[in-house]
A and B are shown apart, each in its own frame.
Chain A
């Protein structure tokens, strides 16, 4: 029976459906383990997760190394993902979104990330932008932008950071002067994911006085005169998405493109980031999950001192610690997602805690998985180094882990 399965089923089918002959990471053992990410999910969530895992294994994992090495922005693959509903996961269905919860979203991004962290992270940033337009936009703005974005006919970028304002985001200086029915933008944004290749830019800029209350949110479309881009940055990871400075030189943007009220921009940006932090943390979870499995498989195969590494107690214990930290991170991220969905009062703090904890722990997990591979872990032939390089930046963007500590401590120490 076991032999005939391979013969009859044939590698042709496996070849057609999957770019490589190795089965998807989660499925090989068959019996679910303590780190199985489907534990505790509803039947429906398990279905979403399965589609995401299958898509990651078949459409992303076979290409993740090439996308990284050649710095390719996989537009067609992302559009295929959008066909399945991954372009606007928590966007409302009336404008083309899938209308799912933050927890469903976390589960999906975690699964997709096992196929390629960089691409999944970009998809999550795109999702965040579409959500902002969906939530704060007028009926006209939602109709105009969301349907194309949900299908990834058009791609979006989130523009908050500037050369002079990173963690101190509220001090941003890109100005937007009102002239008739247009705002004239001057200034520049730094480190913009997708910058130069995307179509819709959600830009936080200063329409009023200093501080957060003077900031508004404008949607700027590619091709607007005065919208320029810097050189493509060369990065340690996240190479399947281009990163560029976005430069505004007397760039005229219609007032009709403003999301929400003047002075509401900072709030919109931060509301977007709460979800963005869960998404990024979820991407880290996926990478760590993949790396724990890679490490496990390596320990069962590699022999030194006359036996497989899996017989070495230090490595057994190390693997157990990695698994424990992974599950702990996952629980915190999922709890934060639920809190955000329910609009709980602790949602923002929990999102910050989840981002802080999960990105730090998961980086450590991936790094240890690399160490367990020995010299092989350092070679680009092995996926583990790409997971390490790709998730390193998750501890920095969408609010550095230092800023996450600021948010949490403020919540604990405020007198209110």
Chain B
């Protein structure tokens, strides 16, 4: 590579700067609590109080999550820290916007789902065109061989140019989209637009996100689904640990004390990475437990994929356990290679996160009555990368 040529712009700054500035402004705060610039200081301590949005959520035991119905709270929690996910959308709640868009049938301001759908439709069209071109070229070669006995390379025209489209050179042909040719507004359409659409979407917080907001940041109140009374921290602690029991109402009684409760194990991983500054989201689309984003999903794709592996300090506890924790048994090599391959293909680094579960014989189980028990667990990370000796020498 020539040293004379200037280096190309990095991918991070290839976004147009106006949009970049706008997202930086919208998502400026990394947490729901804002610490304003100190206006008064006394002996070096700021006297201005942090701004706490005090959001509320409803506990839903059937889906094992907390629902934020108020759209103001939902926007705050999404924009300051990317907490939660719209239950009918890919990330932030955008269902109402999509329905209004669909009604107006205008292409302006597409939501992320619509952009993805458009890209997928174009890619599908490209694949069809390519398949057709390959079939035609092969048929032409067959005919040439049969009639004249000469062999022509399929896919290369007589003047040497490629006739099979490649991803770089293919352009979408203008497909007549029915919406663009719709007739001018009829009286029926005007009547429809007057009736507003009811927003049927809510922001859903997983139990780990909800507990982090309640306990670590103290900016969320969780309400009982039937009485709408705010739950105390002790009730939330019990209800979240009892969430794995399939019941239609939240179980507020103290659960039988077990260090390997699935909520505790997954919460420890979540809390560990959140408190280090990462934005932690669900990784089910890549066969892992969590994805770590440096700033947030709107900025860059996730760099790390976390697999949570619980390790029992005492094997007896595992034998007596009423829970069958995922990944507590040793991985097979084929399964580990599969997950690693899936994630390397999307340029994510696989991190195995070992959570050590303390032994019941060593630690008294009464520590489980409060979050102070977290001090007895530990988290260790192992980064996995595939090593190819033949190719990794350049």
A, B assembled together: no
* Chain A residues within 8 Å of B, Cβ to Cβ: none
* Chain B residues within 8 Å of A, Cβ to Cβ: none
